[in-house]
Structure 1
């Protein structure tokens, strides 16, 4: 499968073009999620982003925030967190619905922890990327952009 992404002027990506039939996504939700993250990391790289971290977790500590950052990437000096949600069907709703206010708050706290841990003065923005990947079909990607939790 050969993927390409068209990078739009606002930094988002359009859905990938697929040159051959995409394989069926894995059945287990964990491997489905991993497949979506792999797809997005590849698309980001092709669009000129440098992936800095994947599945980053804050180190142990008294104030450590629980959770992980799916993808941390940088382009043109700007670091962005990409939270990737992948679904094979519509039974659980739109993928982005899995990122509610509490999850978004935690992602922003993790973004702060990542910045602190890596010596970055600016706190990365948090973007949500939905991957719709029905069995036997090509994936469709939606980039929802930077979301705040205030």
Structure 2
């Protein structure tokens, strides 16, 4: 099995996650929103919610499930970044929600095998 670039895997996963959300009726507001605290992969509107999405992409589960990489520290960081985004946006009236999307790719072709959308992950 050839070695795949983690950045490429992540980019493919984020693109798939954005397409998945769009097909489900979410309006993508931001991709890779950055501030001095860090980055959020996707920010979307869905009904009366502003959804902050961490995308985790894997080509195997040898080192655990993708969502397991979003530990308490990472969750707290995402919440702080979300607060920065909301404070500087016109979306203060929306209810925030934090989701994780796990994207599983074929390790050889980097093609989609499965998407697991975890609503209200934290």
Q: Which bracket does the TM-score occupy, shorter chain normalised? A: 0.7 to 0.9
Give yes or no for the alignment of 1:111 onto 2:86.
Answer: no
- 2:10 corresponds to which of 21, 29, 33: 33
Within a 5 Å distance, the mapping from 1:1-150 to structure 2 comes to 27-58=4-35, 64=36, 66-121=37-92, 122=94, 124-135=96-107, 136=109, 138-148=112-122
Worse overlay, 131-140 or 110-119: 131-140
Per-residue CA distance 1:22-57 (angstroms, 9 max, x = gap): xxxx92101101100100101111111110000001
Q: Secondary structure at the match of 1:143?
A: strand
Q: Secondary structure at the match of 1:114?
A: helix
Q: Distance in 2 between matches of 1:128 and 1:119?
A: 24
Instruction: Please name the residue that 1:13 is paired with.
Output: none
After TM superposition, the score normalised by the length of structure 1 is 0.71
Q: How far is 1:77 from its partner?
A: 3.1
Structure 1 or 2: more strand by fraction: 2
Q: Distance in 1 between matches of 2:17 and 2:90?
A: 25
Structure 1 or 2: more helix by fraction: 2
CA RMSD of aligned residues (A): 1.7
Runs of 4+ aligned residues of structure 1 deviating over 4 Å after TM superposition are none
Q: How far is 1:119 from its partner?
A: 3.1
- Which has more radius of gyration? 1
